[in-house]
């Protein structure tokens, strides 16, 4: 399988699919297509050759092309059922699907105001955004509520590491860069994620980018 991703420092959608492939030791080749500056537009040209949607991530598995991060994770969960990419427990599996879908379709303020930039120290900007945007504070409240629903306080969102955790990993990167305030319980989940080997590998990759 080939997974097309953007720059590790910036591409939050790529991070989700890559974490799932890495955390579950799936057989894949990573192809980084760096976001390009105008005027050469080589990112758009490269990705549009792969799919008209022209975005990352995209997964090529033989004849099959999957071009959306959630669809990629769903595809992988079906393709490798023995790996339990979603939890084995039925209730936790429903929760994992719901909170992954919620991340996929919501939290627009957080996404728009606090773009992922792993290497940057944006704490000053973060303090201003936090003070000015009630919508951002409300979205973070909902995220904290989701995280507080994990089965064990020292564990992952739905038990073992799953697709759901991969979906919330970019939020953790944003919280760090922008210094957004968090409850102690949420900080605990954040530490669990920051010490996961796949998250550490992605962050190292981001830091190594020029």
We find the least distance from the C-beta atom of residue 5 to ligand GSH, in angstroms, to be 9
88 Cβ contact partners less than 8 Å away, ≥ 6 residues apart: none
Please give the C-alpha separations between residue 30 and each of 70, 140, 191, in angstroms, as whole numbers. 18, 31, 26
Does position 115 bind ligand GSH by CB under 6 A? no
For ligand GSH, the closer of residues 59 and 186 by Cβ is: 59
Say how far apart CA 48 and CA 59 lie, in whole Å.
14
Does position 12 bind ligand GSH by CB under 6 A? yes
Task: For residue 26, give both structure tokens.
Answer: 């799936």
For ligand GSH, the closer of residues 11 and 162 by Cβ is: 11
Does position 6 bind ligand GSH by CB under 6 A? yes
For ligand GSH, the closer of residues 36 and 191 by Cβ is: 36
Does position 174 bind ligand GSH by CB under 6 A? no
Contact call for residues 64 and 75 (beta carbons, < 8 A): yes
Say how far apart CA 109 and CA 84 lie, in whole Å.
32
Please give the C-alpha separations between residue 139 and each of 2, 67, 116, 125, 171, in angstroms, as whole numbers. 34, 27, 16, 18, 11
Contact call for residues 86 and 34 (beta carbons, < 8 A): no
With contacts defined by CB under 6 A, name the span among 8-16, 126-134, 178-186, 195-203 that binds ligand GSH: 8-16
Helix, coil or strand: residue 3: strand
With contacts defined by CB under 6 A, name the span among 6-14, 79-87, 151-159, 194-202 that binds ligand GSH: 6-14
Q: Which of 3, 9, 13, 203 forms a contact with ligand GSH (CB under 6 A)?
A: 13
Say how far apart CA 1 and CA 209 lie, in whole Å.
23
With contacts defined by CB under 6 A, name the span among 10-18, 145-153, 180-188, 196-204 that binds ligand GSH: 10-18
With contacts defined by CB under 6 A, name the span among 5-13, 74-82, 134-142, 145-153 that binds ligand GSH: 5-13
Contact call for residues 183 and 144 (beta carbons, < 8 A): yes
> How many chain residues are in contact with ligand GSH, going by CB under 6 A?
13
By CB under 6 A, the residues from 35 to 94 that bind ligand GSH are 44, 54-57, 68-70
Say how far apart CA 58 and CA 47 lie, in whole Å.
9
Q: Where on the chain is the footprint of ligand GSH (CB under 6 A)?
A: 6, 11-14, 44, 54-57, 68-70
């Amino acid at each position: 399988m080939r997974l097309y991703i953007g720059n590790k420092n910036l591409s939050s959608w790529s991070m989700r699919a890559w974490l799932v492939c890495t955390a579950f030791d799936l057989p894949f080749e990573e192809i980084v297509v760096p976001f390009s500056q105008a005027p050469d537009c080589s990112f758009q040209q490269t990705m549009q050759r792969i799919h008209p949607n022209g975005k990352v991530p995209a997964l090529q598995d033989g004849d099959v092309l999957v071009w959306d991060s959630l669809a990629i994770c769903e595809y992988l969960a079906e393709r490798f059922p023995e790996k339990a990419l979603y939890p084995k427990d039925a209730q936790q599996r429903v929760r994992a699907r719901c909170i992954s879908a919620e991340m996929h379709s919501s939290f627009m303020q957080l996404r728009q105001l606090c773009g992922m930039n792993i290497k940057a120290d944006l704490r000053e900007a973060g303090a201003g955004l936090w003070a000015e945007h009630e919508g951002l504070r409300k979205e973070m409240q909902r995220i904290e509520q989701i995280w507080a629903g994990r089965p064990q306080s020292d564990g992952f969102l739905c038990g073992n590491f799953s697709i759901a955790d991969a979906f919330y990993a970019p939020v953790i990167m944003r919280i760090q860069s922008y210094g957004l305030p968090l409850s102690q319980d949420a900080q605990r989940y954040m530490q669990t994620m920051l010490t996961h080997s796949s998250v550490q590998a992605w962050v190292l990759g981001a830091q190594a980018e020029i």
